[in-house]
Structure 1
Amino acid sequence: MRFPEFTEEWEEHALAEYLDFKNGLNPDVKRIGRGLPFISVMDILADGTINYDSIRGKVEATEREIENFSVEKGDILFQRSSETLEDVGRANVY
């Protein structure tokens, strides 16, 4: 597909040139319920953007996990798997 007003040469780029992809934290159930705010699948599936005050989950996290899995404003979070096919690939913004 090409937009009619676009006549220039086409350049292909991999998304990885512009974005960092990483899987999220998958903590043991014993660490859930206390600690730092934890964005869950339900937060990603909710309508609207995700903001700090709307995050209900908590998790105990190591310093390394905090460094590797913290999110920043504007990050796009998407669901790579689900119990239902229609939820795979759903995304939300923090």
Structure 2
Amino acid sequence: MPTVEMTRHLYRFFPVLENRAIRVPAGSVADILRGVDALAPGFSDYVLDERGALRPHVNLCLNDTIVIDRKTLSDYVPEEATLYIFQALSGG
């Protein structure tokens, strides 16, 4: 099963994911995000817009490659991969 890792500040909103290995069945990036959402309801709403596309402030990397398909999230995540979720921080 693929592993999902994310920036630490996301745990503030989804504490159920903190301090645990996040592993979900292999599939498309969209499938992976649905798997994380099953563990922490509301997660996909936080990283996806109303059309199911990645929000502008969120980036995904599959191992060491940025996920290019931000609209349909069709990139395949194989069994031994790691999907990294990065959310930009801003402020002033």
TM-score w.r.t. the length of structure 1 is: 0.27
Which of 1 and 2 has higher RCO (CA within 8 Å, sep 6+)? 2
Query: Looking at CA atoms only, which structure, 1 or 2, has the larger radius of gyration?
Result: 1
Q: Hey, which of these two has a bigger chunk of strand by percent? A: 2
